[in-house]
Amino acid sequence: MQIKNTRMRRTLAALTTITIATAALVGCSTNASKAVAIASHDSFIFPDALINQFKSETGFYLEGGAKLGDAGELTNKLVLTKDSPVADLVFGIDNTFAGVAQSNGIIDGELVPIDYADVCFNYDKNWFAKAGIPAPTSWRELTDKKYAGLTVVENPTTSSTGLSFLFASIGALGESGWQSWWSKMRDNGLKVTAGWEDAYYIEFTAGGGSGTYPIVLSYSSSPAFTVDAADGESTTASINNECFRQIEYAGVLKNAKNPAGARAVIDFMLKKDFQSALPDSNYVYPVDESVQLPESWAKFAPASQSFVDVSGLDFEANRKKWQQQWRDILESK
């Protein structure tokens, strides 16, 4: 009897140990299945309050992920890691690189539009008022001698902003006209920087530094962030026509560990709370047209009503060729 009881206790102990271990494994599995990782471009911000709201509403939580450069770098790195993705979903692939994502099969399902931004030129209103020169009303006229040495743009081989406008110039002027326009801009003292931050914050006269260029390639939203506290007016304005509409997408990554969680994030990004936070947190327009823009945006940074139709351009087939042609033009002088 003693032996039997001892064996029974050992059997029960073993079963208890197995049960606890199994429960622990199930718990770990459950926790792991609730974690969602986002791969994004460097500028993306998911506000803390919304992270907490997402967890509360869905039971999923954001953990891990990676910021992988601008839209081009992000897309290319996800292509290289598509068999073992670094995250469950991607945010920030734009319409200049959506074709790369789709042709390389890195997205499970469709890319979903989340926000947009209009790439267009901005100018320093105070600089032009003091100089007594009329501010430009179209980027086409920046080749005029009165604007010589006044414009800074981003390099389209290193900047998504620069690449977007290169596509816009090709869409607007055609194969027969875009190279001539860029050649004239080169001869008119065009300044080129690697990225938007250098162009805006360092070279632009209204960017907060000691820049010397009063015209910069930026976004139609930028004037909302240069409002003078003294008079409540923006010190900058955008040339709000013939812009490039840059659309940002989110998508579930193929081979993701948590596709259900990824889809929950995308659904949350389309909800009004997230859409309403986009202007202040990420400086972009929400795709939900019912969302009311902040007062400063409504007054100084309305979305463009005139943007270049680039639907006929084959970005994927011509991207490298156009970038090289642009480089040849700018380096030929």
% residues pLDDT > 90 (the chain): 80
Q: Mean pLDDT for the chain?
A: 89
State the pLDDT at residue 71. 85
State the pLDDT at residue 32. 59
Indicate whether 125 and 250 sit together in one domain. no
State the pLDDT at residue 6. 34
| 127 and 140 Cβ atoms separated by less than 8 Å | no
State the pLDDT at residue 333. 64
Mean pLDDT of 316-331: 94
Indicate whether 160 and 288 sit together in one domain. no
pLDDT at 108 over 60: yes
Indicate whether 57 and 110 sit together in one domain. yes
pLDDT digits (tens, 9 = 90+) for 141-175: 999 999 999 999 999 988 889 999 999 999 999 98
Mean pLDDT of 26-41: 73
pLDDT at 19 over 90: no
pLDDT digits (tens, 9 = 90+) for 172-218: 999 889 999 999 999 999 999 998 989 999 999 999 989 999 999 99
Question: How does residue 31 score in pLDDT terms, banded at 50, 70 and 90?
Answer: low
pLDDT at 30 over 50: no
Question: How does residue 238 score in pLDDT terms, banded at 50, 70 and 90?
Answer: very high
197 found inside a domain = yes
CATH number, domain with residue 160: 3.40.190.10
Buried/exposed code over 7-28 (b: 16+ C-beta within 10 A; e: otherwise): eeeeeeeeeeeeeeeeeeeeee
pLDDT at 241 over 60: yes
Indicate whether 71 and 208 sit together in one domain. no
Indicate whether 188 and 316 sit together in one domain. yes
154 DSSP β-pair partners: 193
% residues pLDDT > 70 (the chain): 90
pTM for the model = 0.82
Indicate whether 178 and 274 sit together in one domain. no
State the pLDDT at residue 16. 37
180 found inside a domain = yes
pLDDT at 8 over 50: no
Residue with tokens 């299945």: 33
**57-61, 100-104, 168-172: the lowest-pLDDT one:** 100-104
A 10 A CB-CB count for 220 gives 28
pLDDT at 60 over 90: yes
Total count of domains within the chain:
2
Task: Tell me whether residue 193 is exposed, middle or buried, using C-beta atoms within 10 angstroms of its C-beta: 0 to 12, 13 to 18, 19 or more.
Answer: buried
Indicate whether 187 and 312 sit together in one domain. yes
Q: Domain span at residue 223?
A: 117-244+304-331
Mean pLDDT of 280-309: 93
Q: Which residue has the higher pLDDT, 20 or 288?
A: 288
Mean pLDDT of 80-99: 94
Indicate whether 184 and 311 sit together in one domain. yes
Indicate whether 123 and 240 sit together in one domain. yes
Question: How does residue 231 score in pLDDT terms, banded at 50, 70 and 90?
Answer: very high
8 found inside a domain = no
Indicate whether 55 and 95 sit together in one domain. yes
